[in-house]
Amino acid sequence: MLIEFLSALLLGAVIYDLVSHRLPNYYLLLGLLVGFAWQAWAYGWSGVISAGAGLLTGFALFVPLYVLGGMAAGDVKLMAVVGSFLGATGALWAGAYSLIVGSLLGILYLLYKGHLGKLVVRYWAMAATRSRIAAEEGDAARHRFPYAIAIAAGTLLSLYWTPI
């Protein structure tokens, strides 16, 4: 039941993100409430503690990316919701897989647009000059990326394939 509801929640988040490039707070709050309720129903107070630890872990994993401008706040909150379902260890695995999937999708998108070379040159120049160089107006690196896709894929991957 956990996997089914979490999968449905993530599917809804992906659809929201694809259509509107945002994740509504009411939708994320609903997911958070259900995550805590499920944990409490299944495991009692230890489940509530697990949900809280997962929420904090998921949030802590992605908030630095938000602060640096590489991720939207809704994506950080979605990872926190995922953590409330999976607990701290599950949130770590889901977050790690989500970052891997997101990186691969980003690289594939830049390859598709033919802008991977521009990105590599810009980051090489940034490393050499130790200063930030903004992407040009038409650069694919400036396009919005519906990261809920990566979070959904990474979370499901972590549920079905975790090497430990």
pLDDT in tens, 69-98: 889 999 999 999 999 999 999 999 999 999
| Structural domain span for residue 120 | 2-160
Rounded Cα gap, residues 75 and 45, in angstroms: 27
Q: Show Cβ contacts of residue 69 under 8 Å, excluding neighbours closer than 6 positions.
A: none
Number of domains, the chain: 1
Q: If pLDDT is split at 50, 70 and 90, which confidence band does 62 have?
A: very high
* Structure tokens belonging to residue 127: 């490393």
Q: What percent of the chain stands above pLDDT 90?
A: 69
Q: Which of 75, 100, 71 is nearest to 162 (CA)?
A: 100
Query: What's the confidence (pLDDT) of residue 127?
Result: 80
Q: If pLDDT is split at 50, 70 and 90, which confidence band does 140 have?
A: low
Most confident of 2-6, 128-132, 160-164: 2-6
